[in-house]
Structure 1
Amino acid sequence: MSASHRFDNAKRRRPDDHARQAMLTPAYVLEPVRSLLGGFDLDPCTEPGNPTDARAFYCLPQDGCSLPWDGDTVWCNPPYGEARDRWVTRCIAEARMGKRVALLIPAHPDTRTFQKALLAADSILFFKGRLKFGVLRENGRQEAASHGSALFGFNVDLTPLSSLGVVVVPRQVQQCLRVAA
């Protein structure tokens, strides 16, 4: 018997503009990150109402991944489909230019996209439990992620957010491994 019935790859392959890609970051995540960064200069992939209160923002039909990213602090909660690879690449590139970037993506450590972010991040927060997004289901309950989530800090120390989960600092782990070897 095939295991294909357990996996719905169509969800992973949804385009950026699919209605089910819009998952608003819950306030219990957004507010502490906003406070830590002193606000957001840019949110390149948000909703028309700018729920992150970023000073500048892009929303569909604009492709915020390909437009200019002005400002020093960036909040990025990209679509969770396969297209997120290009968002991770852009976040890393902006961080290399000195910007402070917070990137929220699924915690799938077995994927190349996650590992690319892991190797470039200064800190990573693995959230306790599954995030509950600001989208109500038909039964009135908030939509919960079907997976764990991770927040990557590029030029950002996420340690002050440890009440939300476990913070890992990849460079410290790498240094410990070198010492042990």
Structure 2
Amino acid sequence: MTRAQRPMRADAQRNRQRVLRTAAEVFAAEGLSVPVHEIARRAGVGTGTVSRHFPTKESLYAAVLLDRMGQLSGYADSLAAEDDLGTAFFALFGRLVREGAAHRGLAEALAGSGFDIEAAASSAGCNVSDRLRRLLSEAQDAGAVDPGVTFADIKALMAGCLAYDGPDPDRVIDVISRGLRVPG
């Protein structure tokens, strides 16, 4: 069994999770220019520990985003099990907009670095776009979302929400959600 195939020790797994949590908080609050050694310091580990788990800063960016996408995928899967698929779709739409606004810098950095987040998410089993597309279709089938709305429309609306820089993003999400519903 190679080193890569062996299960990670419990303390190594805890350190990895601590680094991911710390990096996510730091990137969201301060941007992507924070050096790896500062993330290590704040996580209470050495720089070598970070480097063993994430050989490059880009791999740390990717891991943070994929970790978050895994959490969002779990949220989407729990919503898909609900009886009210319209409410489930709108809950996921709103959460994705809020998450995108909170982690916009990270997503932009990955997009600019040649990292294909859709492919990585699919490989990791956490493609949130696929889940959103499926919930849209199911909400339309249930009569909760206008059947003329396409997934491309949803992506464009989400991009518009992310461009909004006003004081109350929930208000904008609410306005858009009302516009997506079947009239009457």
Q: TM-score, normalising length from structure 1?
A: 0.25
Q: Which has the higher strand share?
A: 1
Q: Which has the higher helix share?
A: 2
